[in-house]
Amino acid sequence: MVSRAAGPLVVGVDSSTQSTKALVVDAASGEVLARGQAPHTVCGGADGSGKESDPRQWWRALEGALFQCGRAAREVSAVSVAAQQHGLVTLDASGRPVRPALLWNDVRSAGRGARLVGELGGARAWARRVGSVPGPAFTVAKWAWLREMEPTAARAATAVRLPHDYLVERLTGAPVTDRGDASGTGWWAGATESYDEEILGHVGLDPAALPRVARPGEVVGTVRPEGLGLPRGALVAAGTGDNMAAALGLGLRPGRPVLSLGTSGTVYAVSTRRPADPTGTVAGFADARGDWLPLACTLNCTLAVDRVAALLGLDREAVEPGGPVVLLPFLDGERTPDLPGASGLLYGLRHDTTRGQLLQAAYDGAVFALLRALESVAPDAPADAPLLLIGGGARGRAWRETVRRLSGRPVVVPRAGEVVALGAAAQAAGLLLGEDPAAVARRWGTASGDHYEAVARDDASWERLARTLEAGGELLRPAH
């Protein structure tokens, strides 16, 4: 299988909340020659709340995924790691984790994020300075939470990393990150493309504890560990966050909107202008190339809808149209809109409401939150611009048809799966070939797929959802 390769081989890694995936890819053609996957465990934290993982299991999962790739992995020339954004990894002087990593979807830091916004000039100043208003997902809020709630652990931390930084450092020995992932911390200033020392001082974090920010296209080291399933000396790219890698993997050009339907939902587009949204709806991320990646994220997407299906005893595709029922599935709080303590809201239940209609209402609620954010993420995108639909949900008919009905736009579902790992592979291929990784992905044809024509937008359902969200008010906030 490897002997058929037309060019050098590369490995792209996607270390997500739930698992690590590895793809061995022919750098010339984009053909996937081998793949592997190993699961992660997410725990609730010592008090049963929050979302945490031991970073060492990410390394073991990487070993397992590469082992499944077999001989192909042992013949690669370059590797790149993409991983979940925002997670707070704290290491002691010997490089061991001080405590489990706080994951992006841990909302215990919500109060600290709001406090930081007030203490350092307000939302508009944060958006102008770092490109984003830090909510509970952002690493700066998690670090502030840790200093307050677990000061012993914070004092023991001599190094602070993001999940992808941790894996790259174990691969190469180099403490390094990239501008894309760094832009999700809240302490990397998009305005200056450097760490903001005033913010770091305010939260009591020594800049020496942070990794160097590599330049786009930089080789940051070579593979050092033996027994990993990769050849020692293979080049290692800077890597990036998962959303930035997906943008690479799709070969995105500015203005092309993407909806990603996974455990969480995201909507984003590449932009040549640095975003600065003072409402906090849009995170002003950098991309992995030198442009920007305005993005909005919802906590509740496929996992929330699957939970509703399970409660109803239905297959996830068993939706039925019609009825006035509205379901806002904010089962884990919510990030867009900014309601970290929210619970779900069911409104409009009637005697003749069916289980299938309830399930369809859950889909509508999840998709509505993403499409509403799209208006802020890509305001200049033409109204008839096709939406690229990716993630696990994109393979589901109910998800696809709900997006078409509520957006009124055509939809394209790329045939290439695992676009985060493919984006990492494109970044690694760019090192070897001396090319822009997004151009590499476009040559691979990763964004081509099944095209679904636009249908008339369901304005009645849209207005019903908007009215319910607006009227929900205190009902969407946690009970005391």
Catalytic residue IDs: 242
- Helices within 203-344 (DSSP H only): 242-249, 302-312
Residues 370/264, Cβ–Cβ less than 8 Å: no
Q: Is the peptide bond before 337 cis (omega within 30 degrees of 0)?
A: yes
Question: Rounded to an integer, what is the distance from CA 244 to the centroid of its chain?
Answer: 8
Residues 197/208, Cβ–Cβ less than 8 Å: no
Residues 241/369, Cβ–Cβ less than 8 Å: no
Helix or strand (DSSP H, E) at 66: helix 55-69
| Beta-sheet pairing, 9-15 with 19-26 | antiparallel
Instruction: Reduce the DSSP state of residue 1 to 3 states and report it.
Output: coil
Helix or strand (DSSP H, E) at 225: none
Structure tokens at 473: 């008010």
Structure tokens at 349: 């239940």
Q: Cα–Cα distance between 328 and 471 in angstroms, integer?
A: 12
Residues 277/376, Cβ–Cβ less than 8 Å: yes
Residues 422/249, Cβ–Cβ less than 8 Å: yes
Sign (positive or negative) of CA dihedral 246, 301, 456, 356:
positive
The label of the residue with tokens 């009227």 reads: 471
What would you report as the CA-atom Rg of the chain, rounded to the nearest whole angstrom? Answer: 22
Q: Cα–Cα distance between 26 and 137 in angstroms, integer?
A: 35
Cα separations (Å) of 480 from 186, 318, 381, 476, 477?
Answer: 30, 36, 42, 12, 9
Q: Cα–Cα distance between 256 and 478 in angstroms, integer?
A: 37
Residues 329/263, Cβ–Cβ less than 8 Å: no
- DSSP E strands in 338-386: the ranges are 345-347
Cβ-based neighbour number of residue 232 at 10 Å: 11
Question: Which of 158, 124, 125, 120 has its CA nearest to residue 140?
Answer: 120
